[in-house]
Chains A and B, each alone.
Chain A
């Protein structure tokens, strides 16, 4: 049973007095107990819309001491099964179901991240030491894919700004270049040249230090599942999802705009900035509207994915049609 909350049934759920979003997390996390009661209760769990377990079986462990973070939305959260079962992560295959199917055995320990370039304290830090530097917080963000679908995801992580502050960028640091892991033995998608491996992304330093920008290490209160970019990934909620580089191994502070994987692959389709912008279409998708996963009707896409109040001033005076 991969998932039981069919989108075809969502309209019915919406009419309920007790919709999915008010299922308390504690109850949600105990659903295995309900499922264990037998087939009959499985049917009722499905009918109630409790998300099924993600493909690949057991969920990662809960993260302790997570505090509530800022910028939350009370929009209905996308079910765990969809967040962890419908992923663009070409390192594990190009089908949306491939990452959940292929990432299960991916090893995220030992893992270290190297911080390089224009910073006062270049260093390589083991992941668990890095996690000890910060208090983890939950950020419920909208995620808008360039393919015109979207989700609402309760991430767990820490602001990238806190990390950048610790590393001490020099005055020459204007951009941050991120590199994802390269591991053909563990990532079947990297055995084909679908993209130029390893995946690279970048942010302007003021984008990287914006309070919205998050380094995510978990979701739904749990450690990040492998198919979502474990052990750590970037989340930039006002940009298209492909900016959210996964399985980060290196952050390099540089003085000029770094190359990014998708814009290198198709510069006319994907830009460095990739800010969510309903006024600038992608050749394959109108960006005016989006389908929220689990919903039937498309909804209008908001400038900067609804975060314009927080980030629009970063781009004052820029022609966003040119810098798409």
Chain B
């Protein structure tokens, strides 16, 4: 029982911490501190934090594989939902504020501008993951199928990073940092099992040679 309360508390603390960028953004918007083009600034910041939290959600597994830390694992779902929430705000800002529900312009953007196409794809991939984020959904799908479905998050993260790379005109520093971090996070997932099977292979080879 106490464990459940601690888990709820840590989840609440995590959500509070993850809300800080949003609170700062709203405060800056209300205070007129978003610069000359506040809509663009809000869009960029929300997109930045979407990617940030999406990549953060991919961190617990490498931490477990590389360092044996298991405590971050229960936070993955919350981090994923936080990332999805920022993605929703990012998309809503684009649709409702930047384009002001100009469906014609939005459809043209999605079709013609590849960075928007891939951003939309990334968002679409997150939707089924958010919808099946409950314990009940895991039970209903069965863990194996649920797990397979949630591997889509890798593709969604890739879409998000490419969305950022393609969005930028000339200065690729920030998007390439995200791309590098994503590469490391995915490589770590392969490195753990590879190292283990290599070690196993080595043991087997040794025992055979004896």
Q: Are B35 and A86 in contact (CB under 8 A)?
A: yes
| Cα of A2 to Cα of B36 in the assembled complex, Å | 11
Chain A residue with Cβ nearest B31: A6
| Cα of A283 to Cα of B113 in the assembled complex, Å | 6
Q: Are A6 and B32 in contact (CB under 8 A)?
A: yes
Q: Are A194 and B108 in contact (CB under 8 A)?
A: no
Least Cβ–Cβ distance between A271 and chain B, in angstroms: 15
Least Cβ–Cβ distance between A293 and chain B, in angstroms: 5
Residue total for B at the interface (Cβ-Cβ under 8 A): 27
Residue total for A at the interface (Cβ-Cβ under 8 A): 35
| Cα of A86 to Cα of B30 in the assembled complex, Å | 19
Q: Are A149 and B170 in contact (CB under 8 A)?
A: no
Contact sample, A vs B, 24 pairs, CB 8 Å cutoff: A3-B33, A7-B39, A8-B29, A8-B30, A8-B32, A82-B36, A85-B35, A85-B36, A86-B36, A90-B170, A90-B171, A94-B171, A147-B169, A149-B40, A265-B170, A283-B112, A285-B113, A286-B105, A289-B105, A291-B37, A293-B36, A296-B39, A296-B100, A298-B102
User: Is A53 part of the binding interface, using a Cβ–Cβ cutoff of 8 Å?
Assistant: no
Task: Tell me which residues across on chain B come within 8 A of A149, comparing CB atoms.
Answer: 37, 40
Task: Tell me which residues across on chain A come within 8 A of B115, comparing CB atoms.
Answer: 284
Mask of B133-168 contacts with A, CB within 8 angstroms, 1/0? 000000000000000000000000000000000110
| Cα of A281 to Cα of B113 in the assembled complex, Å | 9
Task: Tell me which residues across on chain A come within 8 A of B171, comparing CB atoms.
Answer: 90, 94, 194
Task: Tell me which residues across on chain B come within 8 A of A78, comparing CB atoms.
Answer: 36
Task: Tell me which residues across on chain A come within 8 A of B113, comparing CB atoms.
Answer: 283-286
Given contacts A5-B32, A291-B39, 13 further A-B contacts (CB under 8 A): A6-B31, A6-B32, A8-B38, A86-B37, A90-B171, A94-B171, A96-B36, A149-B40, A194-B170, A285-B113, A293-B36, A298-B100, A298-B102
B188-204 at interface with A (beta carbon < 8 Å): none
